[in-house]
Amino acid sequence: MMTKTLLALIPAALLAQPPVAPTPERVGAARGETAGGYNIVNAFETGYRFHDVNGNLGKYRSDVNFGNGVRLLSSRLSIHSREGRGGWFDELLLNTQGLGNDPYQLATLRIGKNRLYQYDLTWRLNAFFNPGLTIANGLHAMNTSRRLQDHDLTLLPTSNFRFFLGYSRNNQDGPALSTVQLFDSRGAEFPLFSDVRRLYNEYRVGGEVRAAGYRFHWSRVWENFREDTRFNASGQVAGPARLTTFRRDEPYHGNTPSWRLALARETSEILAINARFTYSGGRRNFLFDESATGIDRFSRNRQILVAGEARRPVTTANLTLTFLPRSAFTITHHVAYHHTRIDGDASLRQLDNGTLTDDFLSFQYLGIRAFTSSLDFVYRPSRRFTFFTGQRLTDRRIRSVEQVAAGPFLDRVPAVQDNTLNTGVAGVRFSPIAPVTVVLDAELGRANRAFYPISERNYHALGGRIQYRRGTLFLSALARTLYNTNSVSLSSHSSRQRNYSTDASWTPRPWVSFDASYSKLHLDTLTALAYFFERNLVTSHGSLYEVGDRGKGVQVELA
């Protein structure tokens, strides 16, 4: 009797349940509240976080660092104009996570008015704790907080003439602990306390113009970095040694103004253009001022002063042209240029016990210029065949100047090295039958002056790959060889490398899959040096290196 009664009640209970699938029936009032022509939705999640740590507390704080207390775990505020014609704004979104006392906190704000402006704010806080367990057994530690914020304002966001304003700030501060060794290489180590203060500011202004199928973007950026960390270790005792006073200041300041330009053609079906240019002129100044007094075996009084400045202008430009005269042809030309220069000087002055003075001045210059050009042709006579070929040119120049002045003596060492590499590539991709794809390629390269004795100078590479795909079954095999010779007057080097691999994958059912792989690598190199010893040329010193590696793998995955 009870069973019959339950069977009779089940259909009625099912009919009483609210629908959970999509339905055209009205299921309730619209989300949020309506006020002043806006729809407002507000939600938040709060609670109390507590923890109990067993084991190493420093390890826990370095990995997790969650503590006790009330938290606003997450919140979301959404305000939208119902008609799209609000007063000061049409959209306002505010999201937060972990506010209160979590080590990782986040807040984002977006406010905008249609066709007029859009403002985005991102604020983050990261409380970083590092006890230095693995490197210093707890004698080094850092407990700092990093606060980051980004502000971006876009004027006329949907028009063809847009303007951008931006500001970013990255601030790190907090206590830290390390050690310092005084007063020589046999001296004692003392704990060194520091007040970390690092600040980075970035200001941005720019615009974007769209006209006649082109898009031009420009921006001007100013970056400023300041580090004013101070160190103190006075009144410390380490065995028989005593550190009476210790002070160290090492401010590091710098500015980097830069330009960023970009041009792109978006609407043409025959020619595509993408060009970019950046320039940054970085300049840095630093000062290291340290004074220490104390007693080890003798009375000590040492002062060190190091100062210097440097410039680092960097220029980068690239241009890519893609020409499609017909559907079967594609011609791509890419040109890139990069130039980095670093020059500056530093001076060192050390005063020990008022008796020994050492003056030292050094100047260094390093310039790296790189130019590369590539031209690629792709021809597709049919869906089953594709031919490709290309030519690449790379030209690099490294120039350095080392100048050292110690007292009245001056030593200057300039150096210049150029390298030009020409490379040609060609290959074919075809499908003899529908599930099979074959790719064959070759590369030939010639360099006039390789930078290192083992660099690629005269080399060629051959490769082939075959793939079979039918349903959920996939099979592939690959073979590739690379032969290189690099012989000059005082050294010779040759290498031969061969790679082979096969892969198989099959998924007969949605809940099971099989994977298998096999790979083989063989490499042998022969390198020799030639030099003069007592007016005799020695060429008998060489080395032969061979290595072979094989790998096999089988995997079955059940879901």
What pLDDT band is residue 30 in, cutting at 50, 70 and 90? low
Contact yes or no for 47/66 (Cβ under 8 A): no
Residue 3: per-residue pLDDT: 43
Range in 89-98, 262-271, 493-502 the model is least confident about: 262-271
Contact yes or no for 164/202 (Cβ under 8 A): no
Tokens 């310039």 belong to which residue?
Answer: 367
Type of residue numbered 546: E
For residues 470 and 382, give the distance between their C-alpha atoms in angstroms, rounded to a whole number: 21
For residues 62 and 49, give the distance between their C-alpha atoms in angstroms, rounded to a whole number: 18
Residue 523: per-residue pLDDT: 92
**Among the ranges 300-304, 361-365, 437-441, which has the highest mean pLDDT value?**
437-441
Token output for 330: 């594609």
pLDDT, one tens digit per residue, over 290-313 is 888 887 766 677 788 888 889 999
- DSSP state, residue 228: -
Residue range 349-359: mean pLDDT, rounded: 63
Residue 253: per-residue pLDDT: 93
For residues 45 and 99, give the distance between their C-alpha atoms in angstroms, rounded to a whole number: 11
Give the mean pLDDT of the chain: 85
Tokens 């160190």 belong to which residue?
Answer: 231
What pLDDT band is residue 7 in, cutting at 50, 70 and 90? very low
For residues 197 and 215, give the distance between their C-alpha atoms in angstroms, rounded to a whole number: 41
Percent of the chain's residues with pLDDT above 70: 88
Return the higher-pLDDT residue of 12 and 498. Answer: 498
- CB-facing half-sphere around the CA of 130: CA atoms within 13 A: 14
Residue 13: per-residue pLDDT: 40
Range in 26-30, 108-112, 543-547 the model is least confident about: 26-30
Type of residue numbered 504: A
For residue 107, give every residue at least 6 positions away whose Cβ sits within 8 Å of its Cβ, in sequence order, or none: 94, 95, 96, 97, 99, 121, 122, 123, 124
Residue 406: per-residue pLDDT: 64
Range in 28-37, 93-102, 453-462, 531-540 the model is least confident about: 28-37
Residue 516: per-residue pLDDT: 96
Token output for 383: 């869906």
Range in 5-9, 286-290, 318-322 the model is least confident about: 5-9
Q: Is the pLDDT of residue 168 over 90?
A: yes
Residue 9: per-residue pLDDT: 40
What pLDDT band is residue 408 in, cutting at 50, 70 and 90? low
Helix, strand, coil abundance in the chain, percent, nearest 5 = 5, 75, 20
Among candidates 372, 365, 306, 300, which has minimal Cα distance to 334?
A: 372
Residue range 335-361: mean pLDDT, rounded: 77
Residue 490: per-residue pLDDT: 75
Q: Is the pLDDT of residue 27 over 70?
A: no
For residues 558 and 514, give the distance between their C-alpha atoms in angstroms, rounded to a whole number: 9
The dihedral region occupied by 540, where left means phi > 0, alpha psi between -120 and 50, and beta the remainder, is: alpha
Q: Is the pLDDT of residue 18 over 70?
A: no
pLDDT, one tens digit per residue, over 123-146 is 999 887 777 655 656 677 888 889
Contact yes or no for 398/368 (Cβ under 8 A): yes
Tokens 């096969």 belong to which residue?
Answer: 502
Q: Is the pLDDT of residue 456 over 90?
A: no
Reduce the secondary structure of 389-448 to three states and give it as a string: EEEEEEEEEEEEEEEEEECCEEEEEEEEEEEEEEEEEEEEEECCCCCEEEEEEEEEEEEC
For residues 396 and 452, give the distance between their C-alpha atoms in angstroms, rounded to a whole number: 13
Phi, psi dihedral angles at 266 (to 5 degrees): -110, -25
Among candidates 313, 307, 311, 424, which has minimal Cα distance to 377?
A: 424
DSSP secondary structure string, 318-364?
EEEEEE-SSTTEEEEEEEEEEEEEEEEEEEEEEEETTTEEEEEEEEE
Terminal Cα distance for the chain, rounded: 44
Residue range 409-415: mean pLDDT, rounded: 77
What pLDDT band is residue 24 in, cutting at 50, 70 and 90? very low
Judged by DSSP in three states, 59 sits in helix
Token output for 481: 């060889």
Residue 135: per-residue pLDDT: 61
